A and B are shown apart, each in its own frame.
Chain A
Amino acid sequence: MIAWTIYITFGGAVVILFLPRACAKWIALGITLAGFAVGLATFLSDDVDPAHFKTIVRMPWFPALGMNYHLAFDGISLVLVLVTGIAAISAVLFSWNVEDRAKEFFFWLLLVVGGSYGVFLSADLFLLFLFYELVIVPKYFLIAIFGSNNKEYGAMKLTLYSFFGGALVFLGIIAVYGAAGSLDLNRLAQFQFPEQLQSWAFPVLFLGFAVLAGIWPLHTWAPTGHVAAPTAGSMLLAGIVMKLGAYGVLRVAMNLFPVGFYQWRIWIAVLAVVGIVYTAAVALRQRDLKFVIGYSSVSHMGFVLLGFAAGNLFGVSGSVLQMFSHGVIGALLFAVAGRMIYRRTHTRDLDALAAMNLSRALPFAAFTFVVAAAASMGLPGFSGFAAEITILIGAWKSYPLAVWITGAGMVLVAAFTLRALKRTFFDVEGESADASGEVQGMPAAHVQMSSSAEHPVHLPPITIPEKLGAGLLMLATLAVGLYPKLLLDRIQPAVETMRFLSR
């Protein structure tokens, strides 16, 4: 049944093109809700076996090359399908006011969502790669057509990075296929690849997928892409697309090449830790709110990679939990920054925002951002805490030093999050008006507005769809934060059956 997430979404995308523009957003909402409902129903049903990557559809596609249309799912896929559904619904809700070329917008958006469902459910390597690449081009158009500042640059950079990763993955897949003669992920997971092949093919596959997961130093597409993207685009990027890369690392690179993984995992840990600390430090220096969040995304994805590098039950299941958690929190942060703030104030400059006294002008936005920031910092009670603590416990067993350094990095994360929070909403005194006036490239109107902002500026209130979307995301992060067992029950059995686990 869960396969219907894919069909519904792609079918809906096509339907949107042929119906009047006014229906587009309603259909998109209906489609994403349906996709989420299907995912949730499967997640909650009792007769699910989360431990095994169980086939749901299998049809011969090109028998001569051993290709099948083969879908399967286990606990990890389920969790990621769930977060895809949540992020997709909220992305549609936060795009409620898209009027210009709305049909195209929701078409591209649904293609990204559908492709992501496909990746999480594919049990055939060729099929997985097909869906994986399918996501790239819609992302490009979503950003290049509907984005904001420097959109064409951001879109092209993101696309080229993704496709560079894709080329590496392609090479890795050809290597897998050439060596094993099969593309069935379940069969490949049993196959003993020659050690020599693993030692070069693992880094190729790993790096290919990890580009999309935002691994340092190939992460620079993420901040620029996030900033350039429209709100829904950034939400999908942070919420889903970065997870595609991480999922590929786990499901393909690590699971097929355990020997290669052990040879290289120290380097994964190094890159992950550098990524966490470095991008957090960079985020501390940003003036653009979306850049702060963009870098924080990379930093959070660093945790996922650190958990993978740990290579044990806690580390890896923590990583999957973090994928869910960041999917929700990242989407929430971008929703606040992109839609609630930027759409209304037309600036994302922290100094300019500081002068606007936004906590009084947009109380709901302030509340949402506080929740998102708390979750992002990893405060107990939110999903970020549950995930990161699990990862750190796992990493402690493998790389204690990495945990120490990451701990320092977490302080930086807290620092930049609090800084962004304070500057955006709670800088009541404000930097003096002159300071914001000095900001380069700010339109004159904003300078005026901010200099006269002793009182709260009059901004359009937060709309109902925005409240619903934010509510959904907050609910998700709280639910998982308070009761992480909800997801871990599904994740851990699946991780336990993976063959790279260090014993």
Chain B
Amino acid sequence: MNYSELLRLAAPEAIIVITALIVLTIGLATGRASKFSLFVAALGIAFAVGAILSLPQSANLFGGMLVISPLNSLFKIVCLVLALVTIPLTSSEKSSPNLGEYLALLLLGALGLMLLVGSEELLMIFIGLELLGLSLYVMAAFDKSSIRSAEAGLKYFLFGSTASAFTLFGISLIYGLSGTTALATIGQKIGAVPIQPLLAVGVVMTLIGFAFKVAAAPFHLWAPDAYQGAPIPSAAFIASGSKVASFVVLGKIVLIGFGPVHGSADWRAMIAGWSPVLAALAALSILLGNFVALAQTNVRRLLAYSAVAHGGYTLLGLIAGGRDGFSATLFYTSVYAVTLIGAFAVVGEVRRETGGDDLQDFAGFAKRSPFLAAAMSIFLLSLAGLPPLAGFFGKFYLFSATFRAGANHGLLWLVALALFGSFVSLYYYLIPLKVMFVDKYSRSEAGHKSPVTGHLIANATIALLAVAVLFFGFMPQTLAARILAALP
């Protein structure tokens, strides 16, 4: 192993770091926000994607610290694409005097995602988690003129650092038991001994950190405030990229590292292990997320609680385990991320036009901008799981994989609960649409009746995302088959 080899294999990450530094310099040099830095950031991401594509099929450095496999490369690309489509959202913020710094943070966050996805070793995963977390904390609090943004940042930071502490503690216990931090070896070591209380504590503590990241109840308390208060692109990135990477890593940890202590979440036949823990988290998230979302009047808060519920659905695939379950989880979370960025982008545009993102600000919006209203209906109905949109297929894939896992359909209770949850969710997804299409304007000022021209790049992004949601609905195999093929 020499350094040129390392540099070659870590080229995508290096490119992102360099781009972040360049963007920062541009911001520093020009002093003001500049569209040029947006372009540079996008270009850097594109280069990084190219570098990923030219990586070898598989490689393993330093006992799993940097692993290159089809799955990791695929999800590095997914994370980078999610970061890429987040960039245009910055235009929805009224003023961004420190655009350079913001983009640099976004890129560093993306680097955190890549480290998370690209590693199969607990220490490196923790470093990725922290890099991602620190970038996101600052991004959440970035709007210095808004007290809500400060609240979002602080809450996210406090909850996040507590959760990190839990994870670190859990990791140290696992290390103490197995004597290694590489996931594959941990799997072999803890499989050899019977389950002991210390292991249980270690597993549960590790899971808590990730439950926080994916906003699973009861570790979701930061989400509504962060989604509502943070600048739109930050919220979109927290809800999408961070979530996708967390599910990839969580999946690897539980399925590879903790594989032998899978346990069973089957109805009336539960066996101790991590899967009953995740099942409890999932069930609670589905119920709490969906029911609390019913009462929301702010669209971003509504999306936050629905995100809790979606986190719950996504966990189902991990509980089911196996190749099918994991690939269903990955498909679902990727599609969900794309959809949610789209929804946030529309919310951003509405906010720019009307100055708010409460439900009443959406009133009659369909007449002002049929395009945005149509896009929003595609995103929300996909989240609700209606055909022919991507969310529908995602749910079918996820739930059927869960149903088939386990002897004698023991996970049926979770599937039924999730279906019940998605039935409840339809109501609150329909409400914003109803407000947009059916209600009349709530404000009578003349300025609020004019058609929305919108921002060109933002509109293009929204259109692209809407097309993607439709495309993955009609042609799910384009993504699902890739994920399935990438899984060993």
Contacts and interface: CB of A to CB of B under 8 A. Distances in A.
A130 B385 CA distance: 11
Interface string A145-177: 100000010001001100110111011001101
A32 to B, nearest CB: 22
A131 B419 CA distance: 18
Interface in A212-258: none
B36 interface: no
Nearest to B374: A17
Contact of B400 (A145, A159, A160, A177): A177
A135 to B, nearest CB: 10
A134 B387 CA distance: 6
The contact size tier of chain A is 20 to 34
A44 interface: no
Interface residues of B, number: 32
B388 A130 contact: yes
Nearest to A69: B474
Contact of B399 (A63, A166, A174): A174
B415 A171 contact: yes
Contact of A64 (B392, B399, B416, B484): B484
A428 to B, nearest CB: 41
Contacts of A178: 400, 403-404, 409
B477 A152 contact: no
7 contacts: A134-B388, A164-B423, A167-B420, A170-B419, A175-B412, A177-B400, A178-B400
A126 B63 CA distance: 44
A449 interface: no
Contacts of A364: none
Interface stretch (A136-144, A271-279, A415-423, A461-469): A136-144
Interface in A17-71: 61-65
A133 interface: yes
Interface in B423-454: 423, 426-427, 430, 434, 437-438
Contacts of B67: none
Interface in B458-488: 476-477, 480-481, 484
Interface in A363-421: none
Given A144-B438, A178-B409, A62 B427 contact: no
B172 to A, nearest CB: 40
Closest A-B pairs by Cβ, 3 of them:
A130-B387, A167-B423, A178-B403
Contact residues of A: prevailing secondary structure: helix
A193 interface: no
Interface in B17-33: none
A192 to B, nearest CB: 17
A156 B427 CA distance: 8
Contact of B430 (A134, A159, A175, A177): A159
A129 interface: yes
B64 to A, nearest CB: 29
Contacts of A168: 419
B386 interface: yes
A144 B386 contact: no
Contacts of A163: 423, 426
B386 A136 contact: yes
B397 interface: yes
A174 B387 contact: no
Nearest to A60: B477
B403 A175 contact: yes
Interface string B382-412: 0000111000110111011001100001001
Nearest to A143: B438
A209 to B, nearest CB: 15
Contacts of B404: 177-178
B463 to A, nearest CB: 15
B116 interface: no
A62 B480 contact: yes
B381 interface: yes
Given A130-B387, A160-B427, A171-B416, A64 B480 contact: yes
Interface string B361-393: 000000000000000000001000011100011
B422 interface: yes
Contacts of B403: 174-175, 177-178
A208 B359 CA distance: 32
Interface string B41-63: 00000000000000000000000
Nearest to B425: A163
A277 B399 CA distance: 39
Given A171-B419, A174-B400, 20 more contacts: A62-B476, A62-B480, A62-B481, A133-B386, A137-B386, A141-B437, A144-B438, A156-B427, A156-B430, A159-B426, A163-B423, A163-B426, A167-B422, A170-B395, A170-B419, A171-B415, A171-B416, A174-B399, A175-B412, A177-B400
Residue with the highest number of chain A CB atoms closer than 10 Å, among B388, B412, B423 = B423
Interface in A86-136: 126, 129-131, 133-134, 136
Nearest to B408: A196
A156 B386 CA distance: 16
Given A144-B438, A174-B399, A64 B388 contact: no
Contacts of B386: 133-134, 136-137
Contacts of A177: 400, 403-404
A133 B392 contact: yes
